[in-house]
Structure 1
Amino acid sequence: MSSELVTPGLGRGLRDVVRSRFLLKLLVAKELKVRYRGSVLGLLWSYVKPGVQFIVFWFALGVFLGMNDNTENYPIYLFSGIILINFFTEALGNASRSIVGNGGLIKKIYLPRELFPVASVWVSAVHFVPQLVVLLIACLFTGWTPGILELVAAVAGFGIVALLATGLGLFFGAANVYFRDSENFVDMLLMIATWASPVLYSWTMVRDTLGSTFLTLYQINPLTIAVELFHFAFWKPTTSAITDPAVLSPPNLFAVWTPVGVFTALAVILLGQFTFRRLEGRFAQEL
C-alpha cells in the first residue's frame, strides 16, 4: 500500500482521459441524447444551421458585395471555412460551460474532470462530420482532385483547431467555475473568431489593405493557419482560373505557418491543463 498523500479531487490531467475512454464515450453519448431530446430534426440540425449560415453569408458577401466575381468557386471557399470555424465556436463555447453545466455530477462523485471539456469537443466533432460530408460532395461536383499534400493539410487544419479548442476549453472551463464573467469573454471571443480569420474574405485583402507586416501578425493566429490549410485542401484543387500560387495560399504555409500553428495549439493545451490542474481541487466546493 502506498503511503503517498494525494490531494483530494486532483487527478493526473489529460492522462486520465486516455485511461477513462469508456467514460468519455458515455459522456459524449449523454451529451448528444440530452441535446436532441424532444427535437424533431435531431442530428439534422448539423446540416440545417451551417446551411442557413452559408446562404446568408453567400448572399451578403458573394452576391451583394461581389465576392463571387472576385473569388473563383467562392461557395467552396466560404463553406470550407465556415464548417471549421463552426467546429471551433461550438467546441469552445460548450467546453467553457461544461464544468458548471455538470456541477451536480461533479459534486456527487469523483471522476476525471477533464472529461467534460474533452467530451464537449468530441460532441462538436460529431456535428462536424456531416458538414464535412456535404463539403466533400460539393467539392467532388466541382472537380476536386486532392493529392497527399491536400489531405495532410485537411488533417493538420482540423488538428490545430481541435487542440486549440481543447486547450482553451480547459482554461475557460476551469476559470468559469470561479469567475462567471468568463462566459461573456468566451462569447465575445467567438463573435470575433469568424472575422479574425479568412473565412468570409481572402487573406490577400489583409495584405493589400494593411501591408505585409500586419499580415505576419494576422497569420500568427492559429485559426488563420487552420482555415488556410482547409482552403488549400478543399478549395485550391477546385480552382483552374487562378494560376498565381501566391494568391491560392499564403507564402510559407507549410514550411513556417503550419508548425507555428501546431506549436501554438500545443502551448495552449499546456496552459489550459496547467490552469485546470491548479483550480480543479475546489470545483465541488465552488459549485
Structure 2
Amino acid sequence: MTPLSRWLAALMSTMVAVGCGDQAARTAPTAGETAAATTGSAATPTAQSDDARATEKELEQAPDTEIPGGKEAGCVAHVVRKYVRVICSARDGHPAPDAIDKVRSNKVVDYKGVGEQAAYVDTIFEPGLEMTATFVWGDKARELTMRWPDGTPKPSSYGAFGPETAFTNPCKPHGLPGVGSKGSPCRFKDGAMLKFSWSNEFGPDDAAPEKKKPLFEVENRSTAKIVTLTASLAFFDGAGKRVEQDTRGEPFRPTDAYSYDRQIKPKAKMKIPLGPEKTRLPDTVKRIEVTLHEFSGWDPEASFVREKTAEKDGEKK
C-alpha cells in the first residue's frame, strides 16, 4: 500500500467513527429522559399487579387506615391492592385482643386468633364481600363487619366495628378452672382432666418409619372438647432409672414440651403421637411419664372460602 492509500484509509476510518458517535449522541436518552420513562412505567400498574396476592411483608408494612369504630379498640386496616388486613393490637392504651371468636366470610380469608400483641383478619375487598368477625377482650367483644354488595360503588371505608358488647367465655358453662387468662382464653392445667397411657406403639401408620412417634392413649375426662394440648415427657428404663440421652447422645431435656393439635371429644379416648421420633428413643426406654402443662378447649368458629380448586373425575370445578 502506498503512503497515499494508507492516508486515505485512515481518513475514512476516522469519518466512520465520528459518524457513529454523532448517531449515538442523537439517539441515546439522557439521564432525565430515562428517569422519566421509568417513573411513568411504575406509575401505571397492570391489571396483573392489582390482582397479585399481598405478601405477609406487604401487609405488615402497609400504612394504617382508620375504620369506623376501630380507634376505640386499637384497630386499623392495612390495605394492599384489594387485600385488607384488619388488625387490633396493643396501642394507644388499648390492650391486644384475647382472641377472635367467630369468623364468617364468603371471600378468601385468613386470621390469627390469638397473638402476643395483635389479632387480625385478612380478606379480599371486592364486590360481593360479606364478612363478620368477633374480636374478644376478656368479657367484652366487638364485631367487625365488612360488606360490599354486588352492583354498588366501592364503600367509603373498609368495614366498621360495632359497639362493645358482653362476651361469655365458652369454657364457663363447663365450670372449668383457668378461664379467660390473658392471651390464652380457656386453657387449663388440671392434669386430672386428662389421663395419658403409653401403648408402646409408634404411629401414625402413614408416617415414615423414622418419623413415627410414641403413641399415647389420651382420655378426656372433662365435659369440654379438647382442641390443643402441651405436655413434656420423661423416659425411664426397666429398672426405673431415668434415661437421660437419646440414641444420638443428645440429652432429653426436662423442659422439652410437645404440642399437639387434635380434637378430643368430652369423655372420649384417642391415641395421639407425642415426643421425639422413634429413632431417637433407645431400646432401654420402657416407661414414659407425661406432665401436662396446659390444654385448650376453645376452638374459634370459622366459616370461609379458601382458594382451593376442587377436582373430580379429572375435571376442574
Give 1 or 2: higher helix fraction.
1
Taking structure 2 as the reference length, what is the TM-score of the superposition? 0.22
Higher relative contact order (CA 8 A, sep 6+): 1
Tell me which structure has the larger Cα radius of gyration.
2
Taking structure 1 as the reference length, what is the TM-score of the superposition? 0.23
